[in-house]
Each structure stands twice: as C-alpha cells, then as structure tokens.
Amino acid sequence: MKLLRRYTMYLLMTVPIVALFFYFHTLPALTGMYYSFTNWSGFGSIQWVGLKNFIGLFQDPQVMHSYLFTLEFAAVTTILVNVISLLIALALNAKIFLSKTFKAIFFMPYVLGTLVVSYIFNYLFSNVIPTIATQFHWTALTQNLLGTQYAWLGIVIVACWQGAAFNTILYLAGLQTIPEDVYEAAMIDGASAWRRFWGVTFPLIAPFFTINMVLAAKTYLQVFDQIVALTNGGPGNLTQSVSFLIYTNGFSGGELAYQSANAVVFLLLLLIVALVQLRFLQRREVQL
C-alpha cells in the first residue's frame, strides 16, 4: 500500500510535465515532420506529396548553399571560440594582476543579448571602421565588411566576441580542478611550457573541451540572431543560415511545407554532428 502511494506520487510529479513537454515540444516537431510530406502553404487545402519536397531540397542551390554556409560558419566559429577561450582561461589562470577585474570583463558578454550586441557591431562595421579607414587611407577597410563577400567574417567576429565568455568560464573551472603538484612534477621533469600544456593540462581538461565543442557546435549551427541584425542573409544569399532560411521562407512565400522538409533534414544533420562529435571527442578523454 505504502509502496503504491509512493509510486503514485512520483507519477503525479512527472506525468503532467511530460505531457506538457510532449504537447509543446514534440507534437509541433511531429506536425512539422508531417508537413514536410505535404504541399501545404499555410492557407487552404493540404495534400500528401511524398518525398517531393526532400528531392526538391537537394536540387535547390539556395538551400544547399545555406547548409554549406552554416557548416562552414559553425566549424570556424566553434574552433575559434574554443581556441580563444582556452587561451583566455589559461591566461586568467596564470599569475596576473587584477585577476578579478579581467574575469569580470571577459565573462560580461555572456549576459548581453545577442541581437542588441549585433546591432552595435553592425554600426561598427558599417560606419565606424569605414570612417576611420578613410581617414587613414586604408583602402581595404573603407567598405562595409558586411556588404562584401567576407560578410561571414563579421558574423564570426560577433559570435566570438560574445561566445568566448561562456566557454572561458568552463575552461577556467576545468583548469582550477588541476592540482598544483601535477605541474610541479612536470616542471621538475624539465618539460617546456608547450609540452606541459599538451602533455598535462590539455588531457586533464579534455572533458571540458568535449562539452564546449558539443555545445558550441549546437549553438552555432542554429545561428540566427546575428544574421538578422548584421546581414539579413546578404550580400546575395552568402550568409543565409539554415535557421534563417527556414524562418524567412517558411513564414512567407508559401513554402511552409518545403521549409518543414528543410527543418527535418536540419534535425538529422544536428543529430549526426552531435553523435560524431561525442564519439570522436570522448575517445580522447583521459580521466584524472
């Protein structure tokens, strides 16, 4: 009797929330998958079209380009953010003055809204840099970076400026778990700073590296806010990310079903990336 009551209470604690989760998260996802096999435009009648949308996707240069851009952007940004934040974390962990102030500065971007930060950078790229470049006759920089074929670099810069904060926090936490005597032992062996890093430090913070790589890749594959505020996908469709394309074309232009199919493909891509990363990165981890 008591056992049953105990179990009932657990069920009462979980089932309603699971039901809500299913209704607000999984149900729309399933509806989206259903749309992807139809020709529905958002208005009017709905018809089953089988795999037509999926076949169309793979022949659509715009869609293919958005995947190319998204993958390239995510790869570059994930690597850059991790390298930069690891360097910052190492520097913060070293013996320095004003360590608290520096920490406060480097973590601050984490609490700032991406959209507004991107608007600030937009002005930097479109007005400040060209004005300064014109004054000093740096011809290469007189153009708005966001209007050139290097617009993606602008997005990478903003993503790094903001994204490094979170990863730095994690790396620093990882570095602080390393006991001092491990270093001392390595120093007595006469290992150089470079060898100490790769031989001692890095293997010990590898779990943090894994988390950071997986989380960063997931975030940057879904890049949206920066694109809206910086380039709106341009010039041309050079900086249209998959999320951006699904949003803009899915809600207008009668492509609801077609972009739902795109979203299904995107889901598969994210799953594959996550699985590959976990397998590949976890193999290298060393536990202390």
Contact 218, 74 (CB under 8 A): no
Q: Where are the alpha helices (DSSP H) in 60-144?
A: 61-93, 99-107, 114-123, 129-136
76 or 218: CB nearest other proteins: 218
CB of 241 to other proteins, least distance (A): 10
Scored b (16 or more CB within 10 A) or e, 38-55 reads: bbbeeeeeeeebeeebbe
Contact 164, 106 (CB under 8 A): yes
Q: How many CB atoms lie within 10 A of CB 234?
A: 14
45 or 283: CB nearest other proteins: 45
CB of 207 to other proteins, least distance (A): 8
CB of 209 to other proteins, least distance (A): 12
Place of tokens 């100490």: 196
CB of 77 to other proteins, least distance (A): 16
41 or 76: CB nearest other proteins: 41
CB of 132 to other proteins, least distance (A): 8
CB of 200 to other proteins, least distance (A): 13
- Residue 48 bridge partners (DSSP): 38
Q: Residue 144 gets which letter from DSSP? A: -
CA angle 51, 54, 57 (to 5 degrees): 150
Type of residue found at 203: P
Q: For residue 270, what are its two tokens? A: 């994210």
CB of 70 to other proteins, least distance (A): 11
Task: Sort 171 into a burial class: Cβ within 10 Å, 0-12 / 13-18 / 19+.
Answer: buried
Contact 226, 114 (CB under 8 A): yes
Cα–Cα distance measured from residue 231 to residue 155, given in angstroms and rounded to the nearest whole number: 8
Q: For residue 40, what are its two tokens? A: 């529905």
